Chains A and B, each alone.
Chain A
C-alpha cells in the first residue's frame, strides 16, 4: 500500500530528493500526497502528473500510483 512520489527540477532541489515512497494509508488526493511527502503547503503554480499524465491537485490517487510534482515547464 504505497504511492511512488517523484519531484523534478527546482521542486526536487527544494524537497532534497528525486523520489519518495509514501504509505497510501489516509491519502485520498494528490494534495494529500504533496502534504505528506513535502510537509509543505501546495503551491498552486505547481504541476502534477499521475502515472505520467497531467492531473489536478484534487484528483483521487490509488495504491501503486506514481505521482509527480514539478514547476512550470520551460523546454523548447
Chain B
C-alpha cells in the first residue's frame, strides 16, 4: 500500500506507472482502477484563482492508512495507492490520486470509489480558495 502527502505538483499517471513497475506483479492483478481529482477554476459560481490545502500532519496519514486498509481487506485488493496534495495549488493541478489493483474489475472499481468517498468525507484536509474578492474556506464538499 502507498500513501503519500505531497507539497509539490505531481503527475498522477506517472505515479501509477511507477507504482505498478515497482510494487506490483502485473500478471496477478487483472484490474486497475484510477481516480484523479483536479483543481477547477470555478466553484459556487465564482472564478477561483488559487487554493491552499491544509492537513493535520500525522493524523491525515494515519487516517488514510486505516481507510485504505479497511477497503483493501473488504474487497480483497492486491494493492492500493493514494496520493494527496497539500499547500498552494493553481487551477489545473491534480489534487488527489486513488488507484486500486485487484484480480477482477468489480473489486478495483468498488474500492476506488469507496476510498475516494471516505477520503472526501473523513480525511482531515481543508481547502481555502483565493477569489478576485479575497479568500474563503470551502465549507463543504460537493455531493458527488
Interface residues in chain A, defined as those with a beta carbon under 8 Å from any beta carbon in chain B: 6, 8-10, 47, 49, 52-54, 68, 70-76
- Cβ distance A16 to chain B, nearest Cβ, rounded Å: 15
Chain B residue nearest in CB terms to A10: B137
What are the residues of chain B within 8 A of A53 when measuring CB–CB?
59, 62
Q: Please report the number of residue pairs spanning A and B whose Cβ atoms sit closer than 8 angstroms.
A: 73
> A74: which B residues are within 8 A, CB to CB?
125-127, 137-141
CB closest chain-A residue, reference B52: A9
Interface size on B, residues (CB 8 A): 28
Ranked nearest first, the 6 interchain pairs of A and B with the lowest CB-CB distance are: A75-B125, A9-B126, A52-B59, A76-B120, A74-B138, A10-B137
Contact of A73 with B125 in the complex, beta carbons under 8 Å: yes
A73 touches B137 (CB 8 A): no
Bound Cα distance A76, B59 (Å): 16
CB-contacts of B27-53 with A (<8 A): 37, 53
- Given A52-B62, A76-B37, A76-B116, is A68 in contact with B123 using a C-beta cutoff of 8 Å? no
> What is the CA–CA distance of A48 and B138 in the complex, to the nearest angstrom?
18
| Smallest beta-carbon distance A7→chain B, Å | 10
Asked whether A75 and B59 contact (CB < 8 A) given A9-B54, A9-B128, A9-B137, the answer is: no
A10, A68, A72: which contacts B56 (Cβ < 8 A)? Answer: A68
A73 contacts B139, C-beta separation under 8 Å: no
* 11 A-B contacts (beta carbon < 8 Å): A8-B56, A9-B128, A9-B137, A49-B56, A52-B56, A68-B56, A68-B59, A73-B125, A75-B124, A75-B141, A76-B120
